[in-house]
Structure 1
Amino acid sequence: MQNRMKNHQLNEDQIAEILKAPVGNIATINENGYPYVVPVHFTYYEGKIYIHGLPQGQKISNILSNEKVCFQIYDMKGLILDNSPCGINTEYESIVVTGTATIVEDHELKKIVLNKIVKKYTPHLNGTALPDNAIKGTGVIEVTIKECTGKYYK
């Protein structure tokens, strides 16, 4: 483990706070073995990460072929300036999650997750009933966390 990682690890509470971020990035592996990374909206619920979107597309195809994923959040707080270009650094917090992804088929779980996403991104619509056809027509990815590391610098 790098020295910075040893000395600047985030604890579980700090990681939980970062998991409230508005955007994360999910990396999947395509059919040619190359990583495919896209920014996503998500929610953290019962120890898992849930992502919503279209029920088909490259990330869905990739997950159906290879369940291994990486999920990342990075929050740049600002630059730490110095009188030398080599002395400039960045204040940040970040997490990296490795795990496995599956497509959620359970209607009730999808409904719970989609309501959590509504609450997170559009709180003024929280409590509004979601039509069954919208739940059925929305893709939901569940990421089971195998490992989660977080670090910071300030």
Structure 2
Amino acid sequence: MFREMRRKKQLLSEEETREIMKVHSSGVLAVTGDDGYPYTVPISYTYADGILYFHCAKEGHKIDAIMRNDKVSFCVIDKDEVIQETFTTHFRSVVAFGRARILTEDSDRRVALESLVEKYSPDYIQEGQKEIKKDWERVCLVEVKIEHMTGKAAIEIVKNKE
């Protein structure tokens, strides 16, 4: 169903790929936007066990697109170092494909919000609980179940690891 990476030597291990997804605070979500145009938007997210969560407004381009077509792609850039003298970039990145759904069950919404608080404000869990309660009715939460995910690194990075 999903294409294999052409440059297999540059494929990151599953462990490295998952770690990149866990440690970063932002990535770019791609959806099928208006009139079939791709629409990409940077988002803050949390990731664990093949599930990505993010929050957003209840209305807008992103939500409209997800309601029309739940297939999404997500990208996280771990490293992006331009090497001028060799006309290349030393990079590490992850691309994930999955299905998005807007969470409606209170228990699912709470899990998503608490995971966001734990990631972004681990020293303010109690305050985060108050924020969750305050914004409960206003916030939209989305879950993306990852179906396929690969990480890739520049060949120079791969060779340095060997």
Q: If the TM-score is normalised by the length of the shorter chain, which range does it land in?
A: 0.7 to 0.9
Match of 2:160 in 1: none
Corresponding residue for residue 43 of structure 2:
40
Q: Name 1:121's counterpart in structure 2.
A: 120
Partner of 2:104: 105
- Cα deviation code 1:88-144 (max 9, x no counterpart): 221111111111111011112211211111121122212432443522321111111
When you count helix as a share of all residues, which structure comes out higher?
Answer: 2
Structure 2: runs of 5+ lacking an equivalent = 158-162
Give the Cα separation in 1 of the matches to 2:71 and 2:56: 19
Structure-2-length-normalised TM-score: 0.83
Runs of 5+ unmatched residues, structure 1: none
What is the rounded CA distance, in whole Å, between the counterparts of 1:133 and 1:2 in structure 2? 45
Output aligned runs, 1:1-150, within 5 Å. 5-19=7-21, 20-82=23-85, 87-128=86-127, 129-130=129-130, 131-150=132-151
Counterpart-to-counterpart distance in 1, 2:53 and 2:45:
5
Query: Under a length normalisation based on structure 1, what TM-score does the superposition of the two structures give?
Result: 0.87
What stretches of structure 1 move > 3 A for 4+ residues in a row?
130-133
Percent of paired sites with the same residue = 30
- SS at structure 2 position matched to 1:56: coil
